[in-house]
Amino acid sequence: MACDAVIVAAAFALVEPSRVIYSIVSAVMVNLVLLWNHRPDAQLLSHVKTAFVARR
């Protein structure tokens, strides 16, 4: 997390601030989509499906 903060701080010095802000907002939006679509049971279901197919 500290490395990310250093990179973003350096970006403010090298790039237009509006572009850095757009980048931060887009990263937050992607993380929200991942959070929204996350299924904790997805890994478990893939193992169950593999075991079920193997039994046939």
pLDDT in tens, 10-49: 999 999 999 999 999 999 999 999 888 877 776 666 666 6
Cα 3 from Cα 53, distance rounded (Å): 44
Say if residues 20 and 8 touch (Cβ distance below 8 Å). yes
pLDDT for residue 52 is more than 90: no
Threshold 0.75, pTM exceeds: no
Residue 40: which residues within 8 A CB-CB, separation 6 or more? none
The CA radius of gyration of the chain, in Å to the nearest whole number, is 20
Helix (H, G, I), strand (E, B) or coil at 41: coil
